[in-house]
Chain A
Amino acid sequence: MAVNLNNSNVATRENRIGSITGYIGSLSDLASQSECGTLKGCSRCFSQSSTCLSSCALGQLSAIRDVAIIHHGPAGCSVLSANAYYLDKVMAKKRGVTNDTVYVGTDMNENDTIFGSTESLRSIIIEVNRRYSPKAIFVTSSCATGIIGEDIDSVVDDVRDEVNVPIAAVHCEGFKSRIWATGFDIADHAVLSSIVQPPRENVKSNKINFKNFYESARPEIIEMFRQFDLEPVFLYCNSTVEELSHISESAATTCICGTLGNYLGNVLEEKYGVPYVRSINQCGITGFETWLRSIGMATGRSEKIEKYIEEQRAVYMPQIEEVKKELKGLRAVIGMGPGYTFEVSRVLNELGIEVVWALAWHYDKKYENGDVPPSMKYLLDNDIDFEASVADQQNFEVMNILHKYQPDLYLSRHPGSTVWAIKNGTPAVYVADEYMIFGYKHTLEFAYAILNSIRNRSFEQNLAKRVKLPYTDWWYKQDVGTFLEEAK
Chain B
Amino acid sequence: MSYKIAAASSDHINIDLSFGAAQAFDIYEVEDGRYSLAERRIYNAPDGCITEGCGSLGCGNGGAKGCGGEGNSPKVDMLSDCRCIICRKIGFNITKQLEKKAITGFDVDCTAEEALEKITDYYSRLDAHKSLRGFAKEDLRQDF
Contacts and interface: CB of A to CB of B under 8 A. Distances in A.
Direct contact of A and B (CB under 8 A): yes
Interface of A: 11-12, 14-20, 33, 35-41, 43, 113-114, 116, 147-151, 365-366, 370, 487-488
Query: Secondary structure of the A side of the interface?
Result: loop
A12 B104 CA distance: 11
Interface stretch (B32-40, B78-86, B113-121, B130-138): B130-138
Nearest to B57: A38
B71 A149 contact: no
17 contacts: A14-B95, A15-B95, A15-B96, A16-B99, A18-B97, A19-B92, A36-B54, A37-B57, A38-B59, A148-B133, A149-B125, A149-B126, A149-B129, A149-B130, A370-B64, A370-B70, A487-B89
Contacts of B68: 37
A38 B125 CA distance: 35
Most buried by A among B58, B95, B128: B95
B132 A11 contact: no
A365 B20 CA distance: 19
Nearest to A149: B129
B61 A36 contact: yes
Most buried by A among B60, B92, B129: B92
Given A12-B99, A35-B62, A366-B71, A149 B131 contact: yes
Nearest to B68: A37
B129 A150 contact: yes
Contacts of B57: 37-38, 40
A459 to B, nearest CB: 40
B92 A18 contact: yes
Nearest to B61: A36
A37 B62 contact: yes
B17 to A, nearest CB: 10
B102 interface: yes
A370 B96 CA distance: 12
A14 B130 CA distance: 26
Given A11-B99, A37-B59, A370-B64, A147 B132 contact: yes
Given A149-B131, A365-B93, A35 B99 contact: no
Nearest to A147: B132
A113 B129 CA distance: 13
Nearest to B95: A15
Nearest to A7: B102
Contacts of A33: 54
Contacts of A41: 91-93, 95
B63 A35 contact: yes
Contacts of A116: 131
A378 B57 CA distance: 27
B96 A17 contact: yes
Contacts of A17: 96
A18 B96 contact: yes
B91 A40 contact: yes
Given A37-B63, A149-B125, A370-B64, A15 B98 contact: yes
B105 to A, nearest CB: 8
A20 B92 contact: yes
Contacts of A36: 54, 59, 61-63
Contact of A487 (B64, B70, B92, B96): B92
Given A19-B96, A370-B64, A488-B20, 8 more contacts: A11-B99, A14-B92, A14-B95, A37-B59, A148-B132, A149-B125, A149-B132, A487-B92
B128 A149 contact: yes
A178 to B, nearest CB: 11
B18 interface: yes
B61 A16 contact: no
Contacts of B96: 14-19
Nearest to A152: B129
A487 B107 contact: yes
A18 B114 CA distance: 28
A114 B131 CA distance: 8
Contacts of A150: 129
A38 B99 contact: no
A35 B57 CA distance: 14
B97 to A, nearest CB: 8
Contacts of A114: 131, 133
A324 B58 CA distance: 45
A148 B92 contact: no
B90 A15 contact: no
Contact of B100 (A16, A37, A487): A16
A14 B90 CA distance: 13
Nearest to B88: A488
Contacts of A113: 131, 133
Contacts of A20: 92
B48 interface: no
Contact of B71 (A14, A16, A370): A370
B89 A38 contact: no
Interface in B6-63: 18, 20-21, 53-54, 57-63
Contact of B54 (A12, A14, A38, A370): A38
Contacts of B132: 147-149
